Amino acid sequence: MEKLEILYEDEFFVIVQKPVGILMHRTKMSEDKISLMQLLRDQLGYRVYTVHRLDRATSGIVLFGKKQSSANELSALFRKQSIDKKYLAILRGWVPDKGVIDYNLSDQETGRIVPQQAVTHYLCLGRSVIDAAIGLRYPTARFSLVSVVPLTGRRHQIRKHFAHLRHPVIGDKRHGDVKQNKYFSEEFGLNRMFLHALELSFNHPFFEKELKIHCPPDEHFIKGIEVSGLKEHYLI
């Protein structure tokens, strides 16, 4: 596997681009032989510490601490909502120009049965309609390209919130549209989920300066933008 792209590095932190399809770290439930943490450790030659997580199916910016104390400092910023995160997503259908999704979420898999507050802001960057009879109901298909800012960090929050609005993320195998996913896979060979961690910004807790990290989506995401008719709206 190719080396991970390092987006930023100093003596406290390292920020990398996570490829789609890789777990953050190995678990007892997973049969994966590699993980992002292991790949980065092998590349750098020393241990790194988790600050936050991305789903296996999500690509983009991930931050690690070089020491446990450094990771703890940044984890505290995440808990205080002092780190700004921006995602890019392709959705089924047309969403409004902008919106706030305030919808509490539970998580049966982790045992959090009582719903917790979850808030997501989004801005529609553009909409498209293409001549594709995905399913048998309509002769065309509609899509939206959105910029997403989650204010809370619940598991699968963005995916669940847009599924709740009936505008699921394209390629989401758990919360998405099976027919849409099949269309992108069979027609274009695109088997990924179209959710990407695009930007991360925060005040460096040790250097007292603002860091703003930008990570463009990979070629497969760009192809998804193109085949869904959204290319003219991708100006990031």
**Quick check: helix, strand or coil at residue 219?**
helix
Q: What is the pLDDT of residues 161-184, one digit of tens each?
A: 999 999 999 999 999 999 999 999
Structure confidence at residue 115 (pLDDT): 86
113 is a domain residue: yes
- Per residue in 18-43, pLDDT tens? 999 999 977 656 666 689 999 999 99
Structure tokens at 167: 């505008």
**How many domains in the chain?**
1
* Residue 83 domain-assigned (yes or no): yes
Q: Is residue 1 a part of any domain in this protein?
A: no
> Please, which pLDDT band fits residue 110 given cuts at 50, 70 and 90?
low
Q: Name the residue range of residue 224's domain.
A: 6-233
Cβ(90)–Cβ(225) below 8 Å: yes
Residues marked active site are found at 55
Phi, psi of 104 (to 5 degrees): -65, 145
CATH number for the domain including 131?
3.30.2350.10
C-alpha count within 13 angstroms, C-beta hemisphere, residue 150: 26
Q: How confident is the model at residue 222 (pLDDT cuts 50, 70, 90)?
A: very high
For residue 107, what pLDDT is reported? 76
pLDDT, average across residues 91-119:
88
The runs of H, that is alpha helices, within the chain are: 36-44, 68-79, 157-164, 178-188, 219-227
